[in-house]
Structure 1
Amino acid sequence: MPTMADVARSAGVSVATVSHVLNETRPVLPHTRQAVLDAVEELGYTPNTLARSLVTSRTRSIGLAVSAISNPYFTEILQGVEAAALEHGYSLLIADPHDDPEHERKVVQLLHERRVDGMIVAPSAAPGGLLAYLGRHAVPTVLLDRVIDCHADPAPRFDQVCAENTGPTAQLVTHLAARGHRRIGLVAGLPGLSTTDERITGYRQGLAAAGLAPDEDLVVSGNSESTGAERAVAVLMALAAPPTALVTANNAMTIGALRALRTHGRSVPDDIALCCFDDFAWADLFSPRLTAVAQPSREIGAEAVRVLLERLAAPDRPARTVRLPCTFAHRTSCGCPEQPEHPEPSREGTLS
């Protein structure tokens, strides 16, 4: 097996120079760096990552903690994280916190004990223990998808990356109102999540923009999962004046809502219109095809890696929150005729 000394001899440089090139510990002239990389490729040299970590105090690994990895949304985020990490020479250690605050803290501690250089975490609805641990141990961390109000919490601030939620949800509501609907229901997500709160806020803003009075009976939690959405739709259908249109606040709840509407003999969109937050690869295979807000899932994952690497390079810079824009996929479940496949921008991303 070739050694670093073999690479140095082949490239005509010192072992120290090879080390600086591979560990990025000191600038090296471009032609010298290329000679080292060519020698590495020619000899098939594989760096000893354990030895490298002892020298640099870095393992070039990232811990990723996201719940419901089987959910297509988080699966695409994971793909974005993995591609960006690999591009920058980092490996991933992945854990599923199951949206349980105690389990969340434990799995993050296990990742930290594996000496990852930093964390990307989608926090639960009660992330107090998680944030306290990360802050106490000064773990470089990017919070993903679900943001927290760091200004109102004594815990240290964290970088955050997520999609816009409020404006795109309001757009779904105003679109349904423009179709003549006056009773628009919302199957909301798990209480306590920022995504749930922001999408409820967007729903209410959409009603206000359309001149519709809010009716709290039309907002029912589906707990961000399919069976919860089935129960929520059953509650809405049992109202004396049930909604004529529905907004579902994530893809899992869309599936549950469709199942419940079929059980209650409601046809989409003839009996009830439907729009959903979260697009997925096979949304246009349904009949009718689902009108949806599409989140930039892979871009969210890739951006989280970029923000984390910037944090590792500059630990003292101010924390920031990056929001990426969504797109409006206009299809037929809202009651509109077939549309050409040109997703519309939903709202500009913001940085704070």
Structure 2
Amino acid sequence: MPTMADVARHAGVSVATVSHVLNNTRPVLPHTRQAVLDAIDELGYTPNTLARSLVTSRTRSIGLAVSAIRNPYFTEILQGVEAAALEEGYSLLLADPHDDPAHERKVAQLLHERRVDGMIVAPSADPGGLLAYLIRHRVPAVLLDRTVDAPADGVPRFDQVCAENAEPMAQLVTHLADLGHRRIALVAGLPGLSTTAERITGYRQGLAAAGLPYDEALLAHGDSESAGAGRATTALLSLATPPTALVTGNNVMTLGALHALRAHGLTVPDDIALCCFDDFAWADLFSPRLTAVAQPGRDIGARAVRVLLERLAAPDRPARTVRLPCTFVHRTSCGCGTDRQSKPSEKGTAP
């Protein structure tokens, strides 16, 4: 097996220069760097990452803790994280905290014990234990998809990367109101999640913008899963005056809502209009095709990696929250009859 010394001899440089090329510890002239890279390729040299980590105190690995990995949205995020990490020369350690506060804290500890350079975490609805561990052990971390409020002193502790939630949800509601609906219901996610709270805020903003009153009876929690959404939809349909339009808070709950509507013998959009937050690959294969808000999952994952690497390079810089814009995907389940061109739901912010 070729060694670093073999690479140095082949490239006509010192072992120290090879080390600088591999670890980016000092600028190397472009032609010299290329000679080293060519020698590595020709000899088939594989760096000893364990030995390198002992010297640099870095393992060039990132821990990713994301629940509901089977959710297509989180699958897209995972793809974005993996591609960006690989491009930067980092490996990925993946764990599923199962949205359980106690388990996510254990997951963070296990990833930390494996000496990852930093973590990307989608926090649960009660992330106190997780956040305390990350702070106590000074683990560089980026919160993904779901955000946490700043502490009492108003100074954020963590970088956060997520999608806009309120404005895109408001757009779905106002779109349905523009079509003449006056009883628009929301199947919301798990209480305690920032995404749930922000989408409820957007729902209420959309109603207000359309001049419609907020009726708490038209908001039911589906707890971010299919079975819960089915129960919530059934409860909404059982109201004395049921809704004429339904908005679901994520793609998994959309499936549960559709099952419930079918069980009640209702068709979309003839009997009830339907819009959903979260687009997914087969949304345009349903009949009717689903009008949805599409989140930029891959971009969120890739941005989280870049923000984490920026944190590793500058550990003391102020924390920031990056929000990426969503896209309104106009199909036919809202009752319009024909598809229209998709468009960004808002400009978004990415400080």
User: What range describes the TM-score normalised by the shorter chain of this pair?
Assistant: over 0.9
- The alpha-carbon distance between structure 1 residues 43 and 160, as it changes in their structure 2 partners (threshold 3 A), is same
| Deviation digits for residues 217-254 of structure 1 (CA, Å, limit 9, x no counterpart) | 00000000000000001100110000000000000000
Q: Which amino acid aligns with 2:113?
A: E
Q: Report the counterpart of residue 125 of structure 1 in structure 2.
A: 125
Q: Distance in 1 between matches of 2:56 and 2:333?
A: 55
Equivalent positions of 1:313-352 (< 5 A) are 313-340=313-340, 342-352=341-351
What is the alpha-carbon distance in structure 2 between the residues aligned to residue 259 and residue 152 of structure 1? Answer: 43
- Show the counterpart of 2:179: 179
Aligned-partner Cα distance in 1 for 2:34–2:156: 41
What secondary structure is seen at the aligned counterpart in 2 of 1:351? Answer: coil
Seen in structure 2, the aligned counterparts of structure 1 residues 284 and 153 have a Cα distance that, compared at 3 Å, is farther
Q: Are the counterparts in 1 of residues 60 and 116 from structure 2 also a CA contact under 8 Å?
A: yes
The Cα of 1:343 is off from its aligned counterpart by 1.7
Structure 2: gaps of 5 or more residues: none
Q: 2:271 aligns to what?
A: 271
Provide the residue aligned with 1:194 in structure 2: 194
Structure 1 residue 232 corresponds to structure 2 residue 232: yes
Alignment match, 2:168: 168
Q: 1:28: Cα distance to partner?
A: 1.1
Pairwise mapping of residues 188-267 of structure 1 onto structure 2 (< 5 A)? 188-267=188-267
Instruction: Tell me by how many angstroms 1:351 deviates.
Output: 3.1
- Structure 1 residue 266: Cα displacement: 1.0
Task: Say if 1:132 and 1:155, in contact at 8 Å, map to a contact too.
Answer: no
Q: Would you say the 8 A contact 2:170–2:202 is kept in 1?
A: yes
Return the letter of the residue paired with 1:295.
Q
Q: Distance in 1 between matches of 2:338 and 2:37?
A: 54
Alpha-carbon distance, 1:155 to partner: 8.7
Indicate if the aligned counterparts of 1:196 and 1:249 stay in contact, CA closer than 8 A. yes
AA aligned to 1:23 is: N
For the 8 Å contact 1:18–1:36, the answer to whether it is kept is yes
What letter corresponds to residue 235 of structure 2 in structure 1? V
The alignment status of 1:51 with 2:46, answered yes or no, reads: no
Output the CA distance in 1 between the equivalents of 2:156 and 2:56: 26
Give the paired residue count: 351
Q: Which aligned pairs between 1:85-164 and structure 2 lie closer than 5 A?
A: 85-152=85-152, 157-164=157-164
Question: Is 1:20 the equivalent of 2:20?
Answer: yes
1:140-174 deviations in whole A, cap 9, x for unaligned?
Answer: 00000000112447896100000000000000000
Unaligned stretches of 5+ residues in structure 1: none
CA–CA separation in structure 2 for the residues paired with 1:52 and 1:346: 46
1:31 deviates by 1.2
Amino acid at match of 1:327: T
CA RMSD of the aligned region, Å? 1.1
Secondary structure of 2:17 counterpart: helix
1: CA distance, partners of 2:257 / 2:44: 54
Residue 80 in 1 paired to residue 80 in 2?
A: yes
Q: Which residue of 2 aligns with 1:299?
A: 299
Tell me the distance in 1 between the aligned counterparts of 2:197 and 2:26. Answer: 47
Question: Hey, what's the Cα distance between the residues in 2 that align with 1:222 and 1:175?
Answer: 22
TM-score (norm 2): 0.98
How many Å separate the matches in 2 of 1:26 and 1:308? 22
Q: Give the distance between the partners of 1:188 and 1:42, measured in 2 at CA.
A: 56
Q: What TM-score comes out, normalization by structure 1 length? A: 0.98
Deviations 1:192-236 (A, max 9, x none): 000000000000000000000000000000000000000001100
In 2, distance between residues paired with 1:299 and 1:305?
10
Distance 2:116 2:155 in 1: 21
State the alpha-carbon separation in 2 of the partners of residues 302 and 338 from structure 1: 34
Deviation at 1:24, TM superposition (A): 1.0
* Partner-residue secondary structure (3-state), 2:25: coil
Once residues 60 and 135 of structure 1 are traced to their aligned partners in structure 2, the CA distance between those partners, rounded to angstroms, is 21
User: Are 1:135 and 1:155, in contact at CA under 8 Å, matched by a contact in 2?
Assistant: no
